[in-house]
Copies of this chain bind each other. A is one copy, B any other.
Amino acid sequence: MSPADPYLHRYATRAQGMTASEIRALFAVASRPEIVSLAGGNPDVTVLDFDEVADVAARVIRERGASALLYGGGQGLGEMREQLTGVLAAEGIRARADDLVVTTGGQQALDLLARLFIDAGDVIVAEGPTYVGALSAFSQYQPRVVHVPMDSDGVVPEAMADVLDRLRAEGVKPKMLYTIPNHQNPAGVSLTEDRRRAVLALADAHDLMVVEDNPYGMLDFKHETRTPLVTLAPERVIYVGTLSKIFSPGVRTGFVLAPHAVRDKLVQLKEASDLCQSNMTQAIAEAWLRTQPWREHVRAFTELYRERCDEMLSEIEVAFPPEAHVAAPTGGMFTWVRLPEPIDTGALLPRAINARVAYVPGRGFYADGSGKQEMRLNFSYASADRIREGIRRLGELIGDELELLHAFGR
């Protein structure tokens, strides 16, 4: 048992309930090389040529050091935002550099948006499961998160309508919908075209702001594009993007596309939070997008992940119990598995790590305690061989566990 925290009585109310997760402690162990980690969310940056990145970095520091080494403005460098409009164009979104705010990855965008919009007790509607980092960002501002179920076509509009009607009957007016419409983290699915319109019609009917988080849009296994929500309802939808999955999370470059009134508030909050984005990483990311064939890299990332995803799914087919439900990802970096009762993926994790394989238990992806039988598996980082080996280890463990649980009558 750890000793009582002597600072506990000094913390703000928002921090009183913060507890160190046991999963975090396990993951510290899980970084050992003999463990196949299907737990993380790292891209495989070996797709890039590090020498080229090094050359770009050296060139911008040598030539633009007097700017790259200094403070910048709260909105982000103009040249950086200009290049980001090119990324948006590739997603089918027309925007001007002045419409954007650069943030420390998509994560800071979520933090700043929650800080701007969420009072304690406000309701956020989100997919269930949803991105665990969004739940952490939001929880600092003490909202109530209400989930809407998904199927293989993304959010189910009828279920969303039910949830919103139920809230209205309770006298609750939800503040926003948070959604990852493309290759969702963790569920791996994408919202179909028809449903995009249906979801936005519901947002209209209930006067919801929509936060459209799109880190994975371009990592589509069939190289398809889908209509961004923000193009359908620009005054209602705030769009969050990032270079973490198409270039590198090491440059920590995310951005928000928002109506100007909201953009101005975000710039003020950004400055209060950390003064400004790093001019150095912005200069490097800007020069990278401007001088390198980044769309080819995106294609290379996507091909690699598609192959690894196929390997993972085919090995799961063999190694996991037939009752396991496995999502067929449309793209991105993750698949989502629901195991049969009475498995508890949280309780199973320590033994998985003993068996030299790691995953993320499902419960962290829900704000309401669901997800006990679910798990997220990452296919973007480990090699195909390691993925097959990891899935075999996991399948064996799950088989043993089910046998044991059934033998003891649960």
Query: How distant is the Cα of A185 from the Cα of B268 in the complex, in angstroms?
Result: 21
Interfacial residues of chain A within 238-275, with CB under 8 A of chain B in the complex: 244, 248-252, 259, 261-262, 264-265, 268-269, 271-275
Q: Is A159 an interface residue (CB 8 A)?
A: no
Assess the B54–A65 pair: CB atoms within 8 A.
yes
Q: Which of A12, A111, A119, A269 has its CB near the most chain B CB atoms (within 10 A)?
A: A12
Distance in angstroms from A73 CB to nearest chain B CB is 9
Q: Is A278 an interface residue (CB 8 A)?
A: yes
Q: A62 with B68: in contact, given A6-B261, A140-B115 (CB under 8 Å)?
A: no
Q: A62 with B50: in contact, given A12-B116, A107-B274 (CB under 8 Å)?
A: yes
Assess the B104–A250 pair: CB atoms within 8 A.
no
Q: Is A11 an interface residue (CB 8 A)?
A: yes
Neighbour of A105 across the interface among B50, B70, B275, CB < 8 A? B275
**Residues of the B chain whose Cβ atoms lie less than 8 Å from the Cβ of A104:** 104, 273-274, 278
Neighbour of A71 across the interface among B65, B249, B262, CB < 8 A? B249
**Residues of the B chain whose Cβ atoms lie less than 8 Å from the Cβ of A133:** 271-272, 275
Q: Is A45 an interface residue (CB 8 A)?
A: yes
Assess the A272–B111 pair: CB atoms within 8 A.
yes
Number of interface residues of A (CB under 8 A): 81
Neighbour of A69 across the interface among B50, B268, B280, CB < 8 A? B50
Distance in angstroms from A144 CB to nearest chain B CB is 14
Neighbour of A54 across the interface among B15, B59, B141, B262, CB < 8 A? B59
Count of identical protomers in the assembly? 2
Which residue from chain B places its CB closest to the CB of A253 in the assembled complex?
Answer: B278
Q: Which of A45, A65, A264, A279 has its CB near the most chain B CB atoms (within 10 A)?
A: A65
Q: Is A296 an interface residue (CB 8 A)?
A: no
Query: How distant is the Cα of A104 from the Cα of B102 in the complex, in angstroms?
Result: 14
**Residues of the B chain whose Cβ atoms lie less than 8 Å from the Cβ of A59:** 54
Q: Is A5 an interface residue (CB 8 A)?
A: yes
Query: How distant is the Cα of A132 from the Cα of B356 in the complex, in angstroms?
Result: 51
Distance in angstroms from A269 CB to nearest chain B CB is 7
Q: Is A136 an interface residue (CB 8 A)?
A: yes
Query: How distant is the Cα of A348 from the Cα of B57 in the complex, in angstroms?
Result: 42
**Residues of the B chain whose Cβ atoms lie less than 8 Å from the Cβ of A14:** 115, 119
**A contacts, CB < 8 Å to B:** 5-8, 10-15, 18, 20, 40-43, 45-46, 48, 50-51, 53-55, 57-59, 61-62, 65-66, 68-71, 103-105, 107-108, 111, 115-119, 122, 133, 136-137, 139-141, 175, 209, 235, 244, 248-252, 259, 261-262, 264-265, 268-269, 271-281, 284
Task: Apart from A103-B274, A136-B272, A278-B281, list 4 A-B contacts with CB within 8 A.
Answer: A7-B262, A12-B117, A50-B61, A111-B272
